[in-house]
A and B are shown apart, each in its own frame.
Chain A
Amino acid sequence: MNEPALVEINKVSKYYDDRVCALKDIDLSLDRGEWLSIMGPSGSGKTTLLNIIGCLDKPTSGLVRVDGRDVTRLTPAELTCFRRETIGLIFQQFHLIPYLTLLENVMLAQYFHSVADEEEARQALDRVGLGDRLSHLPSQLSGGEQQRGCIARALINQPKLVLADEPTGNLDQHNEEIVMDLFRMLHDEGHAIIVITHDPDIGRLADRQVFLEHGSIADCHQVAPLTGES
């Protein structure tokens, strides 16, 4: 028997000021453990869609079900609670708190969720290759290191769904590869991932690609397995 989808989106539309259409009648689903890439030009509605799936925004109409719950009916406080229990967020700009060390940034996410556990936070940072950067402030880290710290923070509470908005947008080639290796590792561990990207190479790492244009899905297809030439 098939497991129900982790994310189900039915006829979702989003209008700003009742005029500007950001999303129009989107139907989409994401299975547990699936990696989905959302691609498209600027202004096509990628980030709006990610915000709605991440419970940071509400659609104007339509149904959004995440992990079996209709999140469009939740109050702001319930959405906050649901977000910290279910979703891990990775940002293009990293968004680490500048005056906290890397270790403290990860522990802060733990604290919001339940209890800050320093040892567990150390292990999470060790896992992304930052075991020797624990007491560094974000300003003392490279962009790649900050993004890996952001990934460690997103994963510290074992979220069922990882959402990443242009995670390699500010990284050089070397760091981009390191970060994408981490995403592959997450995928292999069974995390469901949605990544917004402009980069076709990164988009091809996913199980499935969705192309948005003018707020609608222009294309959605499975990605062919890599042949080893990539």
Chain B
Amino acid sequence: MLRRLVFKALLHRKRQLAVAAAAVLIAATLVAALTTLSLGMKSQAGRELEAYGANIILVPAAVALPAGMGRLALGEIAEERYISGPTLAQLETYPPDEVRGYIPYLYALASYQGQKVVVTGTLFDRLAEFAASWQIEGQWVNHDGDTGSSIIGQKVARQFDLRPGDSFSLDFGDRTLGLQVAGVASVGGSEDSQIFIDLSTVQGLSGRPGQIDMVQIRASAEQMPLKEIASSLENNLTGIEARVVGQIAGAEESVLAKLELLMALITAVVLIGSGVAVFSTLTASVLERRREIGLMKALGARNSWMALVFLAEAWSLGLAGGLLGGFLGLGMAQAIAGSVFEASLSPQPWALAATLAAALVVATVAALGPVRHALSVEPIITLRGE
């Protein structure tokens, strides 16, 4: 009987309720869209920021020993350190949502035309990913083990008048390595003065097999702050020191935090707005139906039953608006993601559930005032004909 009464009451007042339902629908659409976008954009923003390079750097932990005689301090003696291959292998055990990727570097000095140049050994198949912001004239070296190709910094290229496709030779002591310029990199940093070649080649020519001077890590700040990830790396990997690259990391965390705050504020405003609409509609409903409420009380309806009638109406609004709005919001999020980020967001079932829950909570809270008003109606007004 309750279901029948609520259903028919909703149908009877469908025009008035349509306003409240539309408010819930719009709110639910925005909540679903914003929550889906919030998470999606967070990941997307993380990926976009990855273009600016690594956000954590691993270097060998230097063990410094104090040197001196008696009261004469002669400073510290630091042992030459390096990151070993097994340490690097440990990085592979980190979950991808914490450590998205890494790239090792080994630095060596070589000579070209009698002048010293810095040669950096690295993994070419990862360099393109980590150096997405570099301007390359020519082309990338696309695979590891290409021992005959190089990427040279623009200063080196200018100094030695090298262009993509040119061949040149580097002297490593008494050994010579012939190379071809695949691309010239313009970075705006120290990389402009370096020559990038295959990692194992540098390890072999510099007599440091299996050794790494530095590892750049691209970590995700979504699950935990970068400082915590760096701390975890220091604790779990032997002989390394992890440093958060302050500028990039700070910018990333700040952007994501502001993004989340903005989304939360918009969501709150929209939910409050829809709550006000539901409140005013249900209040109008109670005022219009005072005689009906009085009649039902005169006929013996309990207060709990009367409360249930109006709450059920509110829940119907919340359910219908929340469900429909949830699906519309997911669609809207996809459309925005496609047009703004040129990316597709994966569907988030929890966003739909959260939207539905939010719509029901808002409808329930908004109904409390009107329900209290309905309970205060005296049955006597029915006989008075008020």
Contact = CB atoms under 8 A, between A and B. Distances in A.
Interface string A43-56: 00001001100101
Given A56-B379, A108-B1, A92 B300 contact: no
A109 to B, nearest CB: 5
Nearest to A84: B300
Interface in B147-170: none
Interface stretch (B83-91, B172-180, B279-287, B289-297): B289-297
Contact of A92 (B4, B297, B378, B385): B385
Interface stretch (A96-104, A175-183, A220-228): A96-104
Most buried by A among B2, B295, B298, B380: B298
A77 B12 contact: no
Interface in B1-17: 1-2, 4-5, 8-9, 11-12
Please tell me the size bucket of the interface on A.
20 to 34
A91 B302 CA distance: 20
A112 B301 contact: yes
Bin the interface of chain B by size. 20 to 34
A100 B383 contact: no
Nearest to A113: B300
Interface of A: 47, 50-51, 54, 56-57, 77, 80-81, 83-85, 89, 91-93, 95, 97-100, 104, 107-109, 111-113, 116, 153, 165
Given A47-B384, A98-B12, A108-B1, 20 more contacts: A51-B380, A51-B383, A56-B378, A56-B382, A80-B297, A81-B302, A83-B300, A84-B300, A89-B298, A89-B299, A89-B383, A97-B292, A100-B8, A104-B4, A108-B5, A108-B299, A109-B300, A112-B301, A153-B299, A165-B383
Contacts of A92: 385
Interface string B344-386: 0000000000000000000000000000000000111011110
A112 B300 contact: yes
Given A84-B299, A89-B298, A99 B8 contact: yes
Contacts of B378: 56
A204 B114 CA distance: 134
B305 interface: yes
A91 B9 contact: no
Main secondary structure on chain B at its contact with chain A?
Answer: helix
B1 A109 contact: no
A61 B380 CA distance: 18
A93 B299 contact: no
Contacts of B186: none
13 contacts: A56-B378, A56-B379, A80-B297, A80-B301, A81-B300, A84-B300, A85-B300, A91-B382, A91-B383, A99-B11, A108-B296, A153-B299, A165-B383
Contacts of A107: 1
Contacts of A56: 298, 378-380, 382-383
A113 B2 CA distance: 14
A104 B11 CA distance: 15
A92 B385 CA distance: 9
Contact of B302 (A51, A77, A98, A99): A77
Contacts of B1: 104, 107-108, 111, 116
Contacts of A81: 300, 302
A165 B379 CA distance: 15
- 10 nearest interchain CB pairs? A84-B300, A99-B12, A112-B300, A111-B1, A56-B380, A99-B8, A95-B295, A116-B1, A112-B301, A109-B299
Nearest to B2: A111
A95 B382 contact: yes
B316 interface: no
A97 B295 contact: yes
A102 to B, nearest CB: 13
A98 B299 CA distance: 16
Interface centre among B2, B12, B303, B383 (most CB of A within 10 A): B383
A116 B305 CA distance: 15
B239 to A, nearest CB: 76
Interface string B235-266: 00000000000000000000000000000000
A77 B306 CA distance: 13
A108 B382 CA distance: 16
Contact of B296 (A85, A98, A112): A112
A111 B8 CA distance: 16
A57 B380 CA distance: 7
A52 B297 CA distance: 15
Nearest to A156: B299
B310 to A, nearest CB: 15
A99 B9 contact: yes
A111 B298 CA distance: 13
Nearest to B379: A56
A184 B99 CA distance: 90
A99 to B, nearest CB: 4
Contacts of A100: 4-5, 8
Contacts of B301: 80, 112
Given A81-B300, A99-B11, A113-B300, A93 B385 contact: yes
Nearest to B305: A112
B8 to A, nearest CB: 5
With a 10 A CB-CB cut-off, give which of B11, B291, B297 has the most chain A CB atoms: B297
B273 to A, nearest CB: 29
A115 to B, nearest CB: 9
Nearest to B4: A104
A97 to B, nearest CB: 6
Contacts of A165: 383
